[in-house]
Structure 1
Amino acid sequence: MNSQSLLYRSGLWLIAALPEVAGAGIFWFLSARGKAQVHYATTAVKRGDVENTVVAAGILQPFRYVDVGAQTSGQLKSLKVKRGDQ
């Protein structure tokens, strides 16, 4: 075995090991940062009227849009009321 073949083999090992070392470094960096804390704005529920009056000319844009809905599926097996019940 000559020194040129030994150098060639060690170069191949370095090229083969480089992606693994880089991947391990990226994984370590991302996991060391920790997860960001999520903060939710919450308030107590209360019954009341929504009364906001705006005396101005122009377009009123909301601060934040919220989609509210229910996603349900299934079949109605029975309905426990009769026609005319209140």
Structure 2
Amino acid sequence: MITPAQIRAARAMLDITIEELASESGLAPLVILQIEAEEGRDAMSGDFDLLKTALERRGITFLANGEQGGGGAGLRMVAPHAEQGLRPEELTAANDD
């Protein structure tokens, strides 16, 4: 699961407001504020999933503890993919042309 600190950092990297993230995630701005502040609300894991999905759509990749080296949890910006044909997981016999 992602952490409140990762959510705050992702918003800062993307330069988006709580209101923009609320619009994209479907959560209320107050809920996001409380999650980021780590106070006043016990967030459900589904809330974190909604936030993670919205931020990943914007180009954030979340890193778990120890992933990509010996550090703690973090995040990374993903370079946008240019349209260069099909991805390997999209290859099927139906598109063998």
Same fold at TM > 0.5 = no
Query: What is the TM-score when the length of structure 2 is the normalising length?
Result: 0.20
Larger CA Rg, structure 1 vs 2: 1
**Structure 1 or 2: more helix by fraction:** 2
Which structure carries more relative contact order (alpha carbon 8 Å, separation 6+)? 2
Query: What is the TM-score when the length of structure 1 is the normalising length?
Result: 0.22
